[in-house]
A and B are shown apart, each in its own frame.
Chain A
């Protein structure tokens, strides 16, 4: 199981990558996608949507379940991954790369300090 060092994580299994200029890219972790099973659809938020940290903003569907994905930080959605429309399996195949969900322009970069490091997240997964 993959826990890349350069990312932040949330308790609800999202990963967060800082991309300069107050932006973060968000997706779900390898652990999450393996729990979900084959992803069949991702309902991404609309562009320019304003999100709050901890607010539900995306739905990921597998055959048997649909899960809410929560925004790790507050801000505005400025880009979403259009490839997921026709290729939802990217979430399973490459969760940290091509399977990304959306990019947020952060309201308060300090919120990143509240997120988990890769070691904290790995620990969280192991205690489950």
Chain B
């Protein structure tokens, strides 16, 4: 065991807090008594009061600080390690954005304060929407969704509402077999039936298959572009035509937007709805699993369906407007993950229009460079050129009994977080690598060197891979035991 649980460091009576003495008068003859600490009366009937105390920790402040500081030191993070995770865009999280989003006028602001008291934040949210509209070539955005998957869900609801309003309920969503798992999950949550279509031999959408699957019961095609192989759908305009001819909508999973900033706009490609991941392309931190934000953009004919409320600008002041008769409704209380939105805003106004092109170009150069460096050592099934990420396969190592997982675990020993593994499903034993735009050439060289060494080890010393990782705080975990006999909490 590395670090005891905070509960295991408890000692009865230890405290780490201080609160001011109660300064309001308290009833002399109490109807109820509360034990533990203060014998203060509680003006609430017994039946509403807790019987058994919660066994929360009892520790001193120094122990809390040491405990969590040491826990943090057990983590890899972007601040400490390179994370070439395909589809996640683990780019650098700028510190100035942390500072500015934590100004007290942002942190300590209540969502129900009257609009005159909130003009600063309203201006930011309005301007952020304008910037995203321009970057993507859409008509409007909602900033409400808390994450990409949340945005997808809303996108599906909007698709449905649109078709119903046009007099025909459509029940199917077409999704390529290369799609991210949230795509079919989000569609199902809306009651859609999913039609999966196979990608062609180049890993792209097969136009003939698409034509055959398209009918007037299809609500939308959910697409990722560049796709999860890092390839640009070069027939995108034809795809859009096929979809629109059938009266369906074209949805873009914008997870790979890092490849397109300032280069191409989804709106120009015929995309009708898209979601963005601010915690990917737009540099907001991943937080170990959130919070993120997944703004959803739409074209003109879908604007009436967006969630309410929306910000409008009148002269130089901003306000929330609530009445939108065709809105699909609210998907979040209040307005969205404001703290995350401010960070994305700071990022976009600081890098500016010149910065956009720099970002995508750097992402493309980095990915192609890394791909080229590795191409003599590992199979890269779909080729020569990629956008901001590429997919390799460790299929050939199976002969030595080495799996993709083994490679991933051995990379940890070299101080690199592994790439995304076993995704997309259409490549056997996939290793999806996205270096992002914020890495230096030297880091890429080091990573390539490490991976090449590991591929060599796979032949000469497979045991070291099978037992990897060796240099991390813990070695491989018994996940079977964790699932068979779930131990999900400490108990006294």
A and B touch in the complex (CB under 8 A): yes
A positions within 8 Å CB-CB of B: 38, 40-41, 61, 63, 88-89
List the B side residues contacting A41 at CB < 8 Å. 483-484
Query: Lowest 10 CB-CB distances: which A-B pairs, in order?
Result: A40-B483, A38-B480, A63-B479, A40-B484, A63-B483, A63-B480, A88-B484, A40-B480, A41-B483, A61-B483
Instruction: Write the B465-484 contact mask toward A (1 if CB under 8 angstroms, else 0).
Output: 00000000000000110111
- Give 14 A-B contacts (CB < 8 Å), ordered by A residue: A38-B480, A38-B484, A40-B480, A40-B483, A40-B484, A41-B483, A41-B484, A61-B483, A63-B479, A63-B480, A63-B482, A63-B483, A88-B484, A89-B484
Q: From B483, which residue of chain A is reached at the shortest CB distance?
A: A40
The distance in angstroms between the C-alpha atoms of A61 and B479, with both chains bound, is 12
Distance between B351 CB and nearest chain A CB, rounded to angstroms: 39
List the B side residues contacting A38 at CB < 8 Å. 480, 484
A38-B480, A41-B483, A63-B483 are known; give 11 further A-B pairs, CB within 8 A: A38-B484, A40-B480, A40-B483, A40-B484, A41-B484, A61-B483, A63-B479, A63-B480, A63-B482, A88-B484, A89-B484
Q: From B484, which residue of chain A is reached at the shortest CB distance?
A: A40
Distance between A109 CB and nearest chain B CB, rounded to angstroms: 34
Instruction: Write the B118-148 contact mask toward A (1 if CB under 8 angstroms, else 0).
Output: 0000000000000000000000000000000
Q: From B422, which residue of chain A is reached at the shortest CB distance?
A: A64
On chain B, the number of residues with a Cβ less than 8 Å from chain A's Cβ atoms is 5
Q: From A61, which residue of chain B is reached at the shortest CB distance?
A: B483
Q: From B480, which residue of chain A is reached at the shortest CB distance?
A: A38
List the B side residues contacting A61 at CB < 8 Å. 483
The distance in angstroms between the C-alpha atoms of A29 and B16, with both chains bound, is 57
The distance in angstroms between the C-alpha atoms of A40 and B478, with both chains bound, is 12
The distance in angstroms between the C-alpha atoms of A76 and B483, with both chains bound, is 30
The distance in angstroms between the C-alpha atoms of A88 and B483, with both chains bound, is 10
List the A side residues contacting B482 at CB < 8 Å. 63
List the A side residues contacting B483 at CB < 8 Å. 40-41, 61, 63
Distance between B307 CB and nearest chain A CB, rounded to angstroms: 32
The distance in angstroms between the C-alpha atoms of A41 and B482, with both chains bound, is 11
The distance in angstroms between the C-alpha atoms of A41 and B481, with both chains bound, is 11
The distance in angstroms between the C-alpha atoms of A40 and B482, with both chains bound, is 9
Distance between A110 CB and nearest chain B CB, rounded to angstroms: 32
List the A side residues contacting B480 at CB < 8 Å. 38, 40, 63
Residues of B160-184 contacting chain A, CB below 8 A: none
List the A side residues contacting B484 at CB < 8 Å. 38, 40-41, 88-89
List the B side residues contacting A88 at CB < 8 Å. 484
Q: From A89, which residue of chain B is reached at the shortest CB distance?
A: B484
Q: From A87, which residue of chain B is reached at the shortest CB distance?
A: B484
Q: From A37, which residue of chain B is reached at the shortest CB distance?
A: B480
The distance in angstroms between the C-alpha atoms of A69 and B288, with both chains bound, is 35
Distance between A86 CB and nearest chain B CB, rounded to angstroms: 9
Distance between A63 CB and nearest chain B CB, rounded to angstroms: 5
Residues of B437-492 contacting chain A, CB below 8 A: 479-480, 482-484
The distance in angstroms between the C-alpha atoms of A61 and B480, with both chains bound, is 10
The distance in angstroms between the C-alpha atoms of A89 and B480, with both chains bound, is 10
The distance in angstroms between the C-alpha atoms of A122 and B105, with both chains bound, is 70
List the B side residues contacting A63 at CB < 8 Å. 479-480, 482-483
Distance between B193 CB and nearest chain A CB, rounded to angstroms: 15
Q: From A92, which residue of chain B is reached at the shortest CB distance?
A: B480
The distance in angstroms between the C-alpha atoms of A55 and B484, with both chains bound, is 26
Distance between B453 CB and nearest chain A CB, rounded to angstroms: 28
The distance in angstroms between the C-alpha atoms of A95 and B173, with both chains bound, is 38
Distance between B205 CB and nearest chain A CB, rounded to angstroms: 26
Distance between B464 CB and nearest chain A CB, rounded to angstroms: 23
Residues of B67-118 contacting chain A, CB below 8 A: none
The distance in angstroms between the C-alpha atoms of A40 and B481, with both chains bound, is 8
The distance in angstroms between the C-alpha atoms of A61 and B483, with both chains bound, is 9
The distance in angstroms between the C-alpha atoms of A61 and B484, with both chains bound, is 10
The distance in angstroms between the C-alpha atoms of A61 and B482, with both chains bound, is 13
Distance between B488 CB and nearest chain A CB, rounded to angstroms: 14
Instruction: Write the B407-435 contact mask toward A (1 if CB under 8 angstroms, else 0).
Output: 00000000000000000000000000000
The distance in angstroms between the C-alpha atoms of A92 and B234, with both chains bound, is 47
Distance between B360 CB and nearest chain A CB, rounded to angstroms: 34
List the B side residues contacting A40 at CB < 8 Å. 480, 483-484
Distance between B487 CB and nearest chain A CB, rounded to angstroms: 13
Distance between B403 CB and nearest chain A CB, rounded to angstroms: 12
The distance in angstroms between the C-alpha atoms of A5 and B482, with both chains bound, is 36
Distance between A72 CB and nearest chain B CB, rounded to angstroms: 25
The distance in angstroms between the C-alpha atoms of A63 and B478, with both chains bound, is 10
Q: From A40, which residue of chain B is reached at the shortest CB distance?
A: B483
Distance between B410 CB and nearest chain A CB, rounded to angstroms: 19
* Listed residue (B479, B482, B484) with the most chain A CB atoms within 10 angstroms of its CB: B484
Q: From B479, which residue of chain A is reached at the shortest CB distance?
A: A63
The distance in angstroms between the C-alpha atoms of A89 and B481, with both chains bound, is 10
Distance between B171 CB and nearest chain A CB, rounded to angstroms: 20
The distance in angstroms between the C-alpha atoms of A20 and B392, with both chains bound, is 54
Distance between B106 CB and nearest chain A CB, rounded to angstroms: 41
List the A side residues contacting B479 at CB < 8 Å. 63
Residues of B297-329 contacting chain A, CB below 8 A: none
* Listed residue (A41, A63, A88, A89) with the most chain B CB atoms within 10 angstroms of its CB: A63
List the B side residues contacting A89 at CB < 8 Å. 484
The distance in angstroms between the C-alpha atoms of A40 and B483, with both chains bound, is 6
The distance in angstroms between the C-alpha atoms of A63 and B480, with both chains bound, is 6
Distance between A108 CB and nearest chain B CB, rounded to angstroms: 29
